[in-house]
Structure 1
Amino acid sequence: MDIDALIAKRVRDLRKVRGYTLDELADSSGVSRSMISLIERQETSPTAVVLNKLADALGVTLAALLSGEPQSVQEQPLARLSDQQVWKDPASGYVRRHVSPSGFASPLELVEVIFPPGESVAFENVVRNVVTHQQVWVLEGEMEVIVGETAWQLDTGDCLAMVLDQRIVFLNSSRKQARYAVALTTFPSNSRRT
């Protein structure tokens, strides 16, 4: 299944499982009803910002939204490189690879991101339905991450931990791409852990 078909299916399936109409998901996410409909019909490629808003409203992480459903009922603890879902943000051009095995019961998700030079991505909304802890480990290059009002300059080897409960901006103002790993885990919103 290609990535746009996967996104369309995941958004539609999660919306139906949660019992949301298009209007209810639009109200909950801040994404227009028409945009959600276009995404579900594979008539547009949503940006990372739009997908993040939908993931929040659906109570899943962006990584989980892009990871798809297990291919079989049997859990597989290995995710071969060729089987890992890859998605490119049409707005910034960043490439996101879901590294964790799909369908394997684990509280931890791993993602690899290749972030083009001169780009930025801002996640404005606060995760409402789940508390997500995230760590960003820069594998190559440099970038800036702004969490709330605090800006962090990250170089190769640096790792930044955060809770996704405020505005976060990723900036690559350098002339070279940055490559980083993201590790994240979620908890129900009523069991906040710090």
Structure 2
Amino acid sequence: MKNMGGIEMDALSGIIASNLRKIRRDKKLSLDNVADMTGVSKSMLGQIERGESSPTVATLFKIASGLHTSLTGLLEDEERPTKVINKEDLNPLFSNHGHFRLYPFFPYDDDKRFEIFVVELDTGSMSESLPREDGVETYMMVFEGCIQLRIMDKKFVLQEGCAMRFDADQPHMYKNIGEGTAKVCQLMYYKK
């Protein structure tokens, strides 16, 4: 039995079958509809859904493209394994000469429409954020330190243990007004 990225082909075929069936049903499509949309024959799609055929990468790309989904959407196990993310393994974004660090723990995903990151600000450092598109919400929690958040002409002081939600479609600025490094966890939610 062949192995693909640590997953046996039979198991991978089962994952693909389940995901394809779910996507098709969620979109209320028949096998004929999917065949028309993807250019993959109805009989081949049926075999894939029943786990009787292991599709080629080219076929998977055709299916993903025709269904307007990602390739990984077809390959990911519905019961995703637990995943530990170590800060040291992330590629942080820096600004303010390295005194502002953003660690992208959970990057944006179209299916979930959110991203989660941790922000660290050294004493006295600040970061200005441009307005996001309409419908973007920010949820933030201060885990260490004291942050001043300015949204337009309003100022808010958030100390350790405080949380806040605001619409991110207006300019805003974060500043560490406490002593020591401030640490903030942020979730950005994209409604659209």
Quickly name the TM-score band, shorter chain normalised: 0.5 to 0.7
Alignment of 1:88 onto 2:94? yes
The CA distance in 2 between the partners of 1:85 and 1:106, in whole Å, is 22
**CA shift digits 1:121-155 (9 cap, x unpaired):** 122x3324x52100110001111001122111010
The CA distance in 2 between the partners of 1:156 and 1:171, in whole Å, is 14
The CA distance in 2 between the partners of 1:182 and 1:87, in whole Å, is 14
The CA distance in 1 between the partners of 2:94 and 2:76, in whole Å, is 27
Alignment of 1:97 onto 2:103? yes
Q: CA deviation at 1:176?
A: 1.1
Structure with max Cα Rg: 2
Per the alignment, residue 185 of structure 2 pairs with: 181
| Structure 2 residues not aligned, in runs of 5+ | 1-69
- With normalisation by structure 1, the TM-score equals 0.52
AA in 2 matched with 1:94 = F
Alignment of 1:153 onto 2:153? no
Q: CA deviation at 1:174?
A: 2.3
Asked whether the equivalents of residues 133 and 162 of structure 1 are also in contact (C-alpha less than 8 Å), the reply is yes
Aligned pair count reads 116
The CA distance in 1 between the partners of 2:173 and 2:182, in whole Å, is 15
Per the alignment, residue 108 of structure 1 pairs with: 114
Asked whether the equivalents of residues 149 and 174 of structure 2 are also in contact (C-alpha less than 8 Å), the reply is yes
Distance change >3 Å, CA 80–CA 104, structure 1 → 2: farther
Per the alignment, residue 144 of structure 1 pairs with: 148
80-89 vs 162-171, which moves further: 80-89
| Structure 1 residues not aligned, in runs of 5+ | 1-69, 189-194
Asked whether the equivalents of residues 79 and 102 of structure 1 are also in contact (C-alpha less than 8 Å), the reply is no
Asked whether the equivalents of residues 75 and 104 of structure 1 are also in contact (C-alpha less than 8 Å), the reply is no
- With normalisation by structure 2, the TM-score equals 0.52
AA in 2 matched with 1:187 = K
Asked whether the equivalents of residues 138 and 166 of structure 2 are also in contact (C-alpha less than 8 Å), the reply is yes
Matches within 5 A, 1:71-86: 73=72, 74-75=75-76, 77=80, 78=83, 80-81=85-86, 83-86=89-92
What is the identity percentage for the equivalent residue pairs of Structure 1 and Structure 2?
13
Q: CA deviation at 1:175?
A: 2.6
Asked whether the equivalents of residues 79 and 101 of structure 1 are also in contact (C-alpha less than 8 Å), the reply is no
RMSD of aligned C-alpha atoms? 2.6
